[in-house]
A = this chain, B = another copy of it.
Amino acid sequence: MDAIDQIRNIVGDAGWVRDGEEAEPYLTDWRAVYKGSAALIVKPQNVDEVAKVVRVCAQAGLPIVPQGGNTGLCAGSIPDGSGRAIVLNLARMNRVRDVDPTNFSITVEAGTLLVNVQAAAEAAGLMFPLSLGAEGSCQIGGNISTNAGGIGVLKYGTMRDLTLGLEVVLPDGSIWDGLRGLRKDNTGYDLKQCFIGAEGTLGIVTAAVLRLVPRPRTRTTVLAAVNTLAQGVALFEQLQSEFPEKLSAFELMSDACIKLALKNVPAAVYPFDEPHSWYLLFDLEQKREGESEAELEALLGARIEAGGIEDVVVAQNLAQSGRLWHLREAIVEGERLEYGSVKHDISLPISAIDSFVGIAAAELEARLPGIRVAVFGHVGDGNLHFNIVRPEGMTKEVFYEAARPLTDYIYELVAQKGGSISAEHGIGRSKIAALARFKSPTEMSMMAMIKRALDPHMIMNPGKIFEDAHDRRQ
């Protein structure tokens, strides 16, 4: 019996996907840019099945592509076009195994949707604070494997900070039970760190113990308009000092973003009378309605007085808060519907944001007049979505061609400023060349040492993060 038949036997008839239309979503990436093919798409229902499947693959030398909700933006969870790999999809492993409110923790299987982890925490009177656009479709195993970020990182950290323990099937098919719910454990190397953010290249995360936090009672949402980015960063610094525990999100939006949202998303509402250059959207988590109202109004009033803020809206209720956040969310859709944009998910030291954006925007305009620099993101943790959009009247095909050297320029400036060319999206398949270019040889070689140590036969998610050795030989 060949390896594929053995795997079909392990998972049974409900555990694998037929070729054809049914298979499409497993082989195409979220942005529909990449399409691969697979020797088999397998959907095990428990960790023992995963381990047995991996053991067969290890013996047969079959590459494995672990897959969660397949919502990644770097094509990290689909196979290449060779048809050699199996896709191991975790969707059927979606149970909440345990909620422990006294320990502020929850144990879930990798295939659990992020939105269902949030719901299970809420049912226990607590909160799981990871929050991002794809939360209705992405799975927690994917969030772990990409060290997901989102809007709550400023206060609650990334997925790495929210992960207490892991269960992982290793590349030889053995199971590592590291499902500990501990805040402090210094018994040797912290092995879970190897798998968080490794994009499935070192093993398959099958379950996790996650940190929960007390649920905030209420939120105050504020949208402020400023003339310069420096004023925006200064506002962040002051809010972070005045309300360090309450400030749970601090988002930046450039003029170009807001214009695209208002142009292409009919439901988006602009709350000011005049146009402005930069917008800051932030949340203060509160225990009671109006808790910090007087202090916040004094702070904002003083900044308006001093010319540091042009205009401001403080949401008076949940509906208003929702409308402000909707504007932020409409940016992504507004940009997409303009057809012809290139995304850069970068991070910088917060102190370098202003000078980076100033230099980059001027240079980009000089190189391609009329280019729209749609900057938005999470200033509080230094993460900018620094996207560039075609000048009006230019076709997207012409723009994509013109944009290539602009991306190189942007990444070079990021590197100069001590930043990262992939803040929260990872490397996957689409950023491999950029990684090799901007990562030091020392770092690339350390990564390769760890890869070889844990996955000596190189079967885990080949062609992701690292170039595929098999491809290189051809």
Contact = CB atoms under 8 A, between A and B. Distances in A.
Interface residues of A, number: 83
A190 to B, nearest CB: 6
B424 A184 contact: yes
B446 A185 contact: no
B422 A187 contact: yes
A419 B178 CA distance: 11
A347 B184 contact: yes
Nearest to A292: B287
A416 interface: no
Nearest to A146: B186
A82 interface: no
A440 to B, nearest CB: 7
Interface string A434-451: 010011101110110110
Contacts of A194: 189, 193, 446, 450
B422 A186 contact: yes
A221 interface: no
A180 interface: yes
Interface stretch (A17-25, A60-68, A101-109, A357-365): A101-109
A144 interface: no
Nearest to A127: B244
Contacts of A177: 440, 442
Contacts of A438: 187
Interface in A116-153: 125, 146-147, 149, 153
A289 B102 CA distance: 30
A189 B378 CA distance: 22
A181 B418 contact: yes
A206 interface: no
A293 interface: no
A280 interface: no
Nearest to A246: B245
B246 A420 contact: no
Contact of A381 (B153, B157, B184, B241): B184
B185 A420 contact: yes
B454 A185 contact: no
Interface in A224-250: 233, 237, 240-241, 244-246
A193 B193 CA distance: 6
Most B Cβ at <10 Å: residue of A347, A378, A383: A347
A349 B181 contact: yes
28 contacts: A102-B233, A102-B351, A103-B351, A104-B350, A146-B186, A153-B183, A160-B190, A161-B161, A170-B446, A174-B442, A178-B443, A181-B349, A182-B348, A182-B382, A182-B423, A183-B383, A186-B424, A187-B420, A187-B421, A187-B439, A188-B439, A189-B197, A190-B197, A191-B443, A191-B446, A193-B193, A214-B241, A214-B244
